[in-house]
Amino acid sequence: MSSNNVRSYKNKYPKYSSSVYIDASSVVVGDIHIGADSSIWPLVAARGDVNVIRIGERTNVQDGSVLHVTRTSPTDPEGYPLLIGDDVTIGHKVMLHGCELKNRILIGMGAIVMDGAVVEDDVMVGAGSLVPPGKTLKSGYLYVGSPVKQARELNQGELEFLRKSADNYVYLKNEYLAEIQQD
């Protein structure tokens, strides 16, 4: 985790503990807080420059994902921060922009979640799906499509998988951190 890829913007520096893995090829800039046991994988771009990004515990942001926000303005004094809860798996090449993801969520590869969208607890969003601005995805369902539509309720195995996926990435990031410490 070099200082070249984790850097400040307007004197706001990303905050995270030693239990967080940030790949050296990712870029993490500005007002970003990353919770314990979370991971940022190769080629992720996360910019907390014109608003804040908050990432919970045991959350993983996979390769090539883009995380950004919408600035505040006189007509929109809060703008759209990016708020991500605990035990969230963000698949490869996902784009998250000024949205809120609660807890125990899987966002499939290549999905896009736009400004003001809210994804409640215990949700799966299928690969390649588009969650349009301001849309709320209710807890306990699989959503697919562009724009997303509620496909069906998640079964017990899928609900359990949401936490297992997060646990698997905690294990993997611990292996990466151990290897870095050996170097």
103 in Cβ contact with 78 (< 8 Å): no
Q: Could you tell me what percent of the chain has a pLDDT over 70?
A: 98
Range of the domain at 135: 6-182
CATH of the domain at 119: 2.160.10.10
Residue 99 lies in a domain: yes
Residue 54 lies in a domain: yes
CA 74, distance to chain mean position in Å, is 28
pLDDT score of 2: 43
Residue 1 lies in a domain: no
- Segment 40-77, tens digit of pLDDT: 999 999 999 999 999 999 999 999 999 999 998 898 88
Residue 60 lies in a domain: yes
| Domain count of the fold of the chain | 1
Q: For residue 141, is pLDDT > 50?
A: yes
Residue 79 lies in a domain: yes
Residue 125 lies in a domain: yes
Residue 110 lies in a domain: yes
- In angstroms, the Cα distances linking 145 to 7, 67, 72, 129, 132 are 36, 21, 30, 5, 11
3-state secondary structure 68-86: ECECCCCCCCCCECEEECC
- Segment 146-169, tens digit of pLDDT: 999 999 999 999 999 999 999 999
- pTM, whole model, 2 decimals? 0.96
pLDDT score of 3: 64
Residue 42 lies in a domain: yes
